[in-house]
Amino acid sequence: MDDLSRDNPLAAVSPLDGRYSARTAPLVSYTSEAALMYTRLRVEIEYLYALDTLDAVSFSLDDADRDTLGTTLDSFDGDDAAMIKRLETEGAAGYSATNHDVKAIEYFLRIQTPSYIHPWIHFGLTSEDINNLSHRLLIRSGVDDVLVPALRSLRDELVSLAQDYRNTPMLAQTHGQPATPTTFGKEMAVYATRVGTAIGRITDANDGLTGKLAGASGTYAAHVAAYPAVDWQAFAQSFVTGLGFEHTRLSTQINPCDDLAALFDALCGVNDIIVDLDRDAWLYISNRYLGQQSTAGETGSSTMPHKINPIDFENAEGNLSKATSDLRFLADYITNSRLQRDLSDSTVKRNIGAGLAHALIGYQKTTDGLQKVVPNQTVMRSELESHPELIGEAVQTILRREGDTDAYERVKELTRGEDVSLADFQDLFASLPVSESVREELQALSPLSYTGYATDLVDEIDEDHTQK
């Protein structure tokens, strides 16, 4: 084991960077430490640009300075990230180890720029001014660019199943018992709409992220001390909204994380919906309502060659449950801080990526599972035909319409706890004091066609929420 390189996925401490690294790779640009370094650097440079616009501040950038800053950001690579890490942990380029990740960004930017710019790097700021904006820039983009597209792909699979099998009747089960028939398509339409609505909640929360730039205690004290004539509140609002966030007017050293908690709660909401779907899919496979396409060369069981296990749905359920656990912990934890600031949230926020990654795996695995399932319409039909008692609901309802006050009790006596056949119902219909047209109406009832508006309800899938 000693010869395994740290860069080898098989040596990863977490499966997110090991076994599942190919699946979580799309999040690297948004949740890795290198991505955070780059985004902190971006915010520091954007701040210098903003200072340059203030006539009252004795600082200006010429074209060469702007070219230098732009190139520093545009050319940022792994070597630059390694240099920042050395500045933090070992010291480099004449600087002692900072033991402070944001200060290391400041020193790195000093190395890249002329000395007359150095006093203005991080001018009047606290590290949390940089961090709160950087984290939110990454999270917002990661959710928009990776998680939401994955959710939309999942939803598209549900819509396809809903439309393709809208006319496929299926036994419903309430309390685990046979119940009024539905169609497989209609059940998939329910999930498609739930996921679509949940995507809307996620995008709303993501669009509502906030930012602060108010200094060490949220009072702008250092800025005001240096340049009392500048309206620093207006400056901060312009800077924060320029990054696409709502401005937090009142804060301590940290930006209260209620906005992030709302986003994490929204992600937990969609995770819960998909876990519900995964468990239903598992049960449909178990009772043979769904078959699974086999993959050439794949092994389902180490000892039972015939098996095709519902591993995608099982894997998705596990990863989504882990994601929800992580995200709920984050939502609870990051909204608390002792007095004006304590650092416990800093290490916790470094784990946001893990929560998002487990969610991403869950969305991908569920989508994979949906792409492999094939409704077994023969089994569904046979199951319905073996439960003629299902028309009992329709029978007693039609009889109620005709004024039969004992309709429910009449059908209950025939069916409850009994093995009943369609012939038994025909005998009942023959004995009823109803008109011939009503008798024919009752005789035409069948579990296969007793699905109400199920087919048409597929058209009610709500698409509005997914287009934001």
Beta strands in 233-384 (DSSP E): 246-247, 290-292, 373-375
Pairing status of strand 169-174 against strand 177-183: antiparallel
- What's the burial of 427, exposed, middle or buried (CB within 10 Å: 0-12/13-18/19+)? exposed
Tokens of 55: 């006539």
Rounded Cα distance between 139 and 134, Å, is: 9
| Residue at token pair 């977490």 | 14
Pairing status of strand 95-96 against strand 91-92: antiparallel
- Residue among 397, 379, 409 nearest 442 (CA): 397
Backbone angles phi, psi at 174, to 5 degrees: -115, 135
Residue 22: CB atoms within 10 A of its CB come to: 8
- Residue 227 gets the label, from left (phi > 0), alpha (psi -120 to 50) or beta, of beta
Q: How far is CA 34 from CA 61, 92, 216, 389, in A?
A: 27, 18, 25, 63
Active-site position among 5, 175, 302, 437: 175
Rounded Cα distance between 228 and 230, Å, is: 6
Active-site position among 58, 96, 294, 301: 301
Rounded Cα distance between 292 and 310, Å, is: 8
Residues with Cβ < 8 Å from 170, sequence gap 6 or more? 181, 182, 183, 184, 187, 289, 375, 380, 383, 384
Q: How far is CA 150 from CA 26, 273, 361, in A?
A: 11, 15, 9
- Catalytic, 301? Answer yes
- Catalytic, 122? Answer no
For residues 238 and 51, is the Cβ–Cβ distance under 8 A?
no
Report, as residue numbers or ranges, the catalytic residues: 175, 301
